[in-house]
Amino acid sequence: MKQDIFRKKTLDNINKEVAAGLDDGHGYSMHKTLNVRDLTYMGIAAIVGAGIFSTIGKASFDGGPGIILLFLFISVACGFSAICYAEFASMVPISGSAYTYSYVAFGEIIAWIIGWDLLMEYAIGNIAVAISWSSYFTSLVNSLRIDTISIGSWHWAVNFHPHIPEYLATDYWTAKDQASEAAKLAWTNAPTFGAYKFICNLPAFLITVIITWIIYIGIKESRRTTNIMVILKIAIILLVMIAGCFYVHTENWTPFLPNGIGGVLAGTSAVFFSYIGFDAISTTAEECKNPQKDLPRAMFYSLIICTIIYVLITLVLTGMTSYKNLDVGDPMAHVFQLMNSRWTDWIAGVISISAVIATASVLLVFQLGQPRIWMSMSRDGLLPPVFAKIHQKYKTPSFSTILTGLIVGIPALFLNLSVVVDLTSVGTLFAFVLVCGGILKLQNDENRLQSKFKTPYINGQWITPGLLILTIALTFAFNYEGLQHFFVFYDRVGPFVHINVSEKIPMIGFGLVFLVTAMYAYIHKYSLIPVLGFLSCSYLLCESGATNWGRFIIWLLAGLLVYFIYGYKNSRIGLQAMKS
C-alpha cells in the first residue's frame, strides 16, 4: 500500500504524452494561443486586483505604513517559490500546476493532496474576489442613486450588529459608516419568508456566471478580455499614484510601525492572497505556444511589476491619510473622498468604475485555472473522465468550467469575505511549500537536466545552518520579553515556568521544520534558493492561525476519503502498473 500510493509520474511518460498530443480521449485538445505577453498580463490580472482595491486597506490599518515591509518580504518569498515554479513549468509543460509537479517529485498521494488543496484554493479565492467585486459594484450603483440593490450574506448583515432590527428605528445608523448603511439596506430590502430574511449577494453570483461564460467559449476570448482589463487597471492605478502624490503628507508615515512587527504580520493572509497569480498562469501550460520558455519569464515579469505597484500604492495611500482611516472595503476610493474636493471626488468615481472592471479580471484568471487542474487530475484517473471532457468547438474543459462556476457562484451568494481570504492563503502557502520541496527532492535526479530553466545553484550546506543560528540569536536579542512570556507566567506569589504549548504549536512546528531543513541542507548540500522558499513559506504558513488550519485539515481529510474511495482504484498509473 505504501509503495502504491507514492507511485510517480516520470518525465519520460509526460514527454511521451506531450509528443502524442494531449486530448480528452475523444480526439479533442485545447488551442495553443498564449505568448509571454498574454501570460504576463494574466499574472498581473490575478495579482493586482482584490488586494490592491480592497484588502490592502485592512492590511494597512493593522500594520501602518510599515506594511510595505510585508509586501517586500512576501514578494521575496514568492520570488523564491516562483523560481521553483519556473523550473517545474519548464520541466513539465502540461496543465496541472503544483498538482502535476508534486506527482513527478513526491508521488500520487502527495499529488492528490495538493490537487485537492488547489481545488479549495481556487474555489475559495474566486468566492472572495466575487464578493469583493460585488462590494465595488454595489457601491457604484448606490452612488448613482440606484438603491434597489442590496448585497451581503446573512452572516454579514446579522453579525454586523447583534441587534439590527432594534436599531432600524433609531439614529444608531447615522453614526456608522457606509458598510453599516449597506447592512441596513440589505436587511430592509431583503424578501421575507415567514420569520426569516432572505439575504444574498446576487451581484457576486451574476459576475461569476458572466466570467464562466467567457472562459467557456474559448481561451482567445479570455485572453482578449484579460488584456483589456489589465491595461485599464494599470492606467487607473498610475492615475491614482500620480494624483495622490499631490496629497501626500509625510507626517502620516510616522509612526512607521504603529503596531510593531505583529501588526505588519497580521496582514499576512490578506497580502499573500494577492500574490497567488503566478500559480494560476502555470495551469495554462497546454494553451501556451512555448510553455517551457514563456511561463518562467511571465512569472518573473508579473511578480516584479506587481511588487513595485503594491509598494508604491501603499506609500501613497498611507501618505494621503492616517493608516487608522484605511480599514474600509474600498481604500483607494476612500482616501480621495476624504480630500473633499470636486477633483478628488471625480477620481474616486473613476476608481470605483475601474475597480468593478479590474477586479473581474482577477476572477477570470482564477476561474481559468481551476477547471484545468480538474482536467489534469481526471486524465490521471483520480477523478471521473467527465472532468477531462474538451468542448468540440470551443476547445475548453467544458464540464469542469461549468462546475467551477456553480461551485464559486452559489457560495458567493452567502459567504463572508474575511473567512474565505484567510483560508485561501493557507492553501496557497501549502502549494508553495510543496513546489519548493519538490525542487529539493529532484535536486540530484538526472531528469532535472531536461528542464530548460534551472534554479541557480547556491550551496546551502553552511548557509542554512548559519541562518538557523542567526535566527535564534536575533530572537533572543530582540524578542527576549516575548520569550519570557513564552515560558514564564506570573501569579500572586511570583514567576513560575510553564510552557503554553497549545498556543505555540505553529511556531514550535516552524522551529522544528527549520532545524530539520538545516540538517538536511548540511548533509545533502541543498540548493539555497528552494530552501529559502521552503522556509519562508513555511513560516508564513505557521502565521495563518489555528482556526484556518482546522478548516484546512478537515478539507484534506475529506479529500483523502475521496481518493481512497475512487482515485486510488482508478489511477492510470496504478492500472498501468497492474497490467505490466
My answer on whether 165 and 239 are in the same domain is no
Q: Amino acid letter at 477?
A: A
Report if residue 452 sits inside a domain: no
Report if residue 391 sits inside a domain: yes
Question: pLDDT: is 135 or 436 the higher one?
Answer: 436
My answer on whether 552 and 524 are in the same domain is yes
Q: Cell 497580502 sits at which residue? A: 271
My answer on whether 188 and 121 are in the same domain is no
Q: Amino acid letter at 394?
A: Y
Residues in the chain: 580
Is the pLDDT at 98 greater than 70, yes or no?
yes
Q: What value does the mean pLDDT of the chain take? A: 76
My answer on whether 189 and 281 are in the same domain is no
The rounded distance, in Å, linking the Cα atoms of 220 and 224 is: 6
The rounded distance, in Å, linking the Cα atoms of 104 and 364 is: 28
Question: pLDDT: is 490 or 258 the higher one?
Answer: 258
Q: Amino acid letter at 470?
A: L
Report if residue 149 sits inside a domain: no
Strand, coil or helix: what is 490?
A: strand
pLDDT of residue 25: 57
Of the candidate ranges 88-97, 158-167, 379-388, 400-409, the one whose mean pLDDT is the lowest: 158-167
Is the pLDDT at 405 greater than 80, yes or no?
yes
Report if residue 394 sits inside a domain: yes
CATH number at residue 328: 1.20.1740.10
The rounded distance, in Å, linking the Cα atoms of 84 and 231 is: 28
Q: What is the mean pLDDT of residues 7-22?
A: 68
Of the candidate ranges 152-156, 315-319, 390-394, 432-436, the one whose mean pLDDT is the lowest: 152-156
Is the pLDDT at 213 greater than 90, yes or no?
yes
My answer on whether 108 and 216 are in the same domain is yes
Report if residue 457 sits inside a domain: no
User: How confident is the model over 101-126, as pLDDT tens digits?
Assistant: 888 888 889 889 888 888 877 887 78
Report how many domains make up the chain.
3
Of the candidate ranges 40-44, 227-231, 545-549, the one whose mean pLDDT is the lowest: 545-549
User: How confident is the model over 272-287, as pLDDT tens digits?
Assistant: 666 767 777 888 878 8
Question: Is there a contact between 274 and 310 (Cβ–Cβ < 8 Å)?
Answer: yes
> Which of the listed residues 414, 444, 474 is the one where a domain comes to its end?
444
Residue 396: pLDDT band (50, 70, 90) is confident
Question: pLDDT: is 49 or 557 the higher one?
Answer: 557
My answer on whether 31 and 114 are in the same domain is yes
My answer on whether 257 and 323 are in the same domain is yes
My answer on whether 483 and 353 are in the same domain is no
pLDDT of residue 346: 74
Question: Is there a contact between 276 and 428 (Cβ–Cβ < 8 Å)?
Answer: yes
Question: pLDDT: is 150 or 569 the higher one?
Answer: 569
Report if residue 62 sits inside a domain: yes
My answer on whether 128 and 168 are in the same domain is no
Question: pLDDT: is 80 or 195 the higher one?
Answer: 80
Cα 215 vs. chain centroid, distance in angstroms?
Answer: 20
Is the pLDDT at 518 greater than 90, yes or no?
yes
C-alpha distances in Å from residue 327, one per residue of 56, 59, 178, 551: 9, 8, 12, 26
Q: How many CB atoms lie within 10 A of CB 140?
A: 18
**Which grid cell is 572?**
492510470
My answer on whether 130 and 167 are in the same domain is no
Strand partners, 390: 397
Is the pLDDT at 519 greater than 90, yes or no?
yes
The rounded distance, in Å, linking the Cα atoms of 55 and 367 is: 20
The rounded distance, in Å, linking the Cα atoms of 162 and 370 is: 37
b vs e for 492-522, b when ≥16 Cβ sit within 10 Å of the residue's Cβ? eeeeeeeeeeeeeebeeebbebbeebbeebe
Is the pLDDT at 9 greater than 70, yes or no?
yes
The rounded distance, in Å, linking the Cα atoms of 43 and 234 is: 13
Question: Which of 86-100, 341-355, 473-487 has the highest average model confidence (pLDDT)?
Answer: 86-100
> Which of the listed residues 388, 411, 444 is the one where a domain comes to its end?
444
My answer on whether 195 and 221 are in the same domain is no
pLDDT of residue 171: 44
Strand, coil or helix: what is 348?
A: helix
Q: What is the percent of the chain with per-residue pLDDT over 70, rounded to a whole number?
A: 71
C-alpha distances in Å from residue 380, one per residue of 68, 280, 309, 384, 570: 42, 20, 39, 10, 8
Q: What is the percent of the chain with per-residue pLDDT over 90, rounded to a whole number?
A: 7
Report if residue 148 sits inside a domain: no
Question: pLDDT: is 454 or 524 the higher one?
Answer: 524
Report if residue 256 sits inside a domain: yes
User: How confident is the model over 534-546, as pLDDT tens digits?
Assistant: 998 888 777 666 6
My answer on whether 484 and 421 are in the same domain is no
> Which of the listed residues 388, 413, 444 is the one where a domain comes to its end?
444
CA atoms within 13 A on the CB side of 202: 10
Question: Which residue range forms the structural domain that includes residue 169?
Answer: 154-199
pTM of the model: 0.79
**Which grid cell is 412?**
458567493
Residue 515: pLDDT band (50, 70, 90) is very high
